[in-house]
Structure formats: structure tokens, C-alpha cells
Amino acid sequence: MPVSPAYRPEPRVFDLGPDYADAVTAADFPQTILRLRNDRAAAEVGLETLSDAEWIAAFGRFQPLPGQPGPIAMRYHGHQFRTYNPDLGDGRGFLAAQLRETPQAAALRERGDRPRLMDLGTKGSGRTPWSRGGDGRLTLKGGVREALAAAMLEALGVPTSRALSLIETGESLERGDEPSPTRSAVLVRLSHSHVRFGTFQRAAYLGRKDQIEALVEHVRALYHPQVAAGDAPGLLAAIVDASARLTARWIAAGFVHGVLNTDNLNVTGESFDYGPWRFLPFYDPGFTAAYFDQTGLYAFARQPEAVFWNLTQLAGCLKLVAEGEPLTEALNGFGPTYIRELRAVFLMRLGVLSLGEAADQRLLDATLALLREGGEALRWEPLFFDWFGGFASSARALSGPRAKLYQGEAFDTFRFALMAHEPDRIERLEHPMFAAREPEEMRIEEVEAIWSAIAAADDWAPFQAKLARLEAARTAWGFAT
């Protein structure tokens, strides 16, 4: 299979040995209709040169890419809504390949240094030893929704897996929570690590100190090389920092993950696995994404609490190889890091430069106060769009569709706090996106309309158009992850 010269296979998960995964075989699908091919993401790992036929062979039939041993289903445990489940694992997906990103891709990242180790992981690729009675499949609607979520999050500067490929597979699936039968698909994600908090939990549950030690060294060496060998508290501190940064960026994006179980958080602080996600329509701390989250455990404003709770479970696993006090100290870094990152990302979203901790905190507080007072009338995303660049956008915001909302005491406080900050890369306002009256959003009504066009008439134009607009928005915002 011809790949580009930039393709660098590196299946490092096999360094861990046989105790962490099981070799599996992909399902034999009756059809393989290519619905999404993300060539920009593919170019980051040297796969953009594949023909469509080769692409389908790799990501619909799962013929191994060069230098890749074949798919494996990862073993892990996890807390699901804070109830421990030892019967988890990759039940409808697998790790298909590991490879290095290109130096060019690494240079574009906010904290770019050496090329990262990247994974190709699947969803809907068939049954595994961990399917627990499930069919191992993915609905086409689920694949479409994940592709949209990932594209929106990337545009907003959130560290996220990307939808690399979506292939319709020609099976009719029965589901209890949506109209059935429904169409099927297999999704391939490009992501930074499949080592979950639950991977450590499984080793701890089995009392395998040796496995915890192996995981610590594996994760340290591949994902947090600044940590000294054998320093489990140092590794935890690095994971805490990455997780706090991710959580802050979810909040600034107005994103609700929906299912923040310990098997849905990984060691690199990259967001992945989008099931019942939602973006806030307007400021609502209690907003939930999952219909089954009846207690609001993973509501919008409770996401920092949820992530911290999950980190404490990871710390508990590391007690097999480290003393409790330094682990607690590492955990205690979450709060300060989260607040610091939240200030930074709100400045990023508003397109202005820092004035120091006190002024930056005033702007954060004023922005949230304005959103709170605006209620349902002031949607989350348009506020950041209207005022991007600070004073440079005053005329645009005050003559736009929300001009009447920008008055009163809360707005005055926000405006004065914002205008004190200089614009960051003011040339971004020259992008055509900022000439529009409305920003790109991801409201549930639009998502359902995109799916309805596919379901009713096999019309993929709205889906492709939305992805194109999100790509333009990503370029306009110029956020790095």
C-alpha cells in the first residue's frame, strides 16, 4: 500500500507485552461507502496519498498499514457514573495503528516540540472479547455526530481526536434510543494515545504492581518525557496539568462531553469519544448532554469536578508504586492550573492579550456575568464572535444582530474589562468570517437537520458544507491546540 515518505509506523503499544490488549479481527461489512475522508488530518501522519480504494481497504476492510501488526482491542476498567465496572474494554473498536506525526504538524501546535505518537482507533469495527453482548457496531448518525463534534472542537482550540474516516457499512442496526432500523458505519479517529485512566484501574484492580510500573514508564517515555524515569507523582502531575487544560478549554468552548467516566479520559489530556455531547445554547451551569444523566453529574459546570474526581481514581492506582503524600500534592495542582488555564483560554477566545492575573480574572468574571445576565437571549458562541479582538470589534458588535443586548451594568463592566486588553493578532479580523452576522455554532437543531437530510434523501451536502465552514472558522480563529 503506497504511503507518503512522511509515514512513520511506530506500534509502541506492543512494548507493554500481551497483558493489555487482545488481537482481534474487524467485521466483514456488506458495503464500504466512503462518506468522510479527512485529508488534512491524514497528511499529519503521511496517509494523504492513499487512493480512495486504498483508503477503503485500510479503514473499511482494515488491511494492515505498512509496519503495523494488526488490530488489538485494549483492556481497561472504569467508573461509569461513579460505579466501578471491571467488565469494560474496547467493545466495538480497536487500536488499528500507531505512527508518528510529521515535523510540520508538530510545528503548528501551540506547544509544538517533537512529533507526537499518534493512534488510529476505530468505533463500530465489530465485536471483540469486550463487547458484553453488544453488536460492536456504530450507527451512521453516531459517526456523523462525532465528526461534527470533533471538527467544532478543533476549530475552537480544544485538544481533540479528529474523525479521520467515516465509511458507511450497509447494515441495519436496532437501537433502543433512536428510530430503528438505522444505518451503520465505521469511524476511524486520529488521536494522541489510547491509554485511559481505566487502563491503570484494571492493573490496580488485579493487584499488578508490575503492570502499573510498566504503564508509568510507557506513558512517561512516550507522552510526558519531561518526567524523570520512575517518577509516578511527577507523571500524575503532568496528567493533572493536561487534564486541567482540557477542562478549561471545554468550558470556554461551551462544550458538554456528556459521559466523563474514567474510561473516557486519557493520559495526554486529549478529548475523545463523543456520544451524547452538546454545545451550550446559552449560559446554563446545569445543562446536561445525556438524557440518562438524570442527576446532572456531568452537567456543564460540574465538568471540572468530574475530571478531578477521575484524577483521584488514577492517583489511587498509583499508590501501588508511590507514596500517598506526593500523589496528593500532584492532585492539588488541579485547581490552580484549571483557573490559570481558564483565564488564558477566555483571553484566547476573545482574541486579546494578557494584562496580568488580576486584569485577566476581571475579564473572565465579567464575561461570565454578562453571559449569565443575558440568559437565553445571549447565546454562548455569538458573544465571543461579536467581541473578538476587543475594542477593534466594537463597531461590528454594536451594529450587529445582538446590539440591543449590549447595554446595562453587566455589559459596561465587560466592555471596560475587555477594552483594557490589546488585540492579539488583529489581522485575524480581516478574515471573511468576521464579515458575517453570525458565527459558526453547533446547536442541536442544526445537527438534527444535517442528519435528517442524510436519513431522508441521502443528501450529504449539508454535512459537507458544515465541515467546510468549520474548517474556514478554524482558519479564521487561528487557535492552536
Catalytic, out of 90, 119, 263, 360: 263
At 239, list the grid cell: 496528567
DSSP string over 225-248:
TTSPTT-HHHHHHHHHHHHHHHHH
On whether the CB atoms of residues 41 and 104 are closer than 8 A, the answer is: no
Which residues, 6+ apart, have CB-to-CB distance to 457 below 8 Å? Answer: none
On whether the CB atoms of residues 167 and 186 are closer than 8 A, the answer is: yes
At 10, list the grid cell: 511506530
How far does CA 390 lie from the centroid of its chain?
28
On whether the CB atoms of residues 45 and 39 are closer than 8 A, the answer is: no
- 189 forms beta bridges with 121, 163
State the pairing for strand pair 138-139/117-123.
unpaired
On whether the CB atoms of residues 258 and 277 are closer than 8 A, the answer is: yes
Which residues, 6+ apart, have CB-to-CB distance to 324 below 8 Å? Answer: none
Helix, strand or coil for residue 450?
helix
Cα 403 to Cα 398: distance, rounded to the nearest angstrom = 5
- Alpha carbons within 13 angstroms on the beta-carbon side of residue 302 total 17
Catalytic residue check, 263? yes
Cα distances from 117 to residues 87, 190, 268, in angstroms, run: 28, 11, 11
Cα 33 to Cα 161: distance, rounded to the nearest angstrom = 22
On whether the CB atoms of residues 361 and 377 are closer than 8 A, the answer is: no
Give helix 334-350 / helix 303-318 axis angle, nearest 10°.
140
Residues belonging to the active site: 263
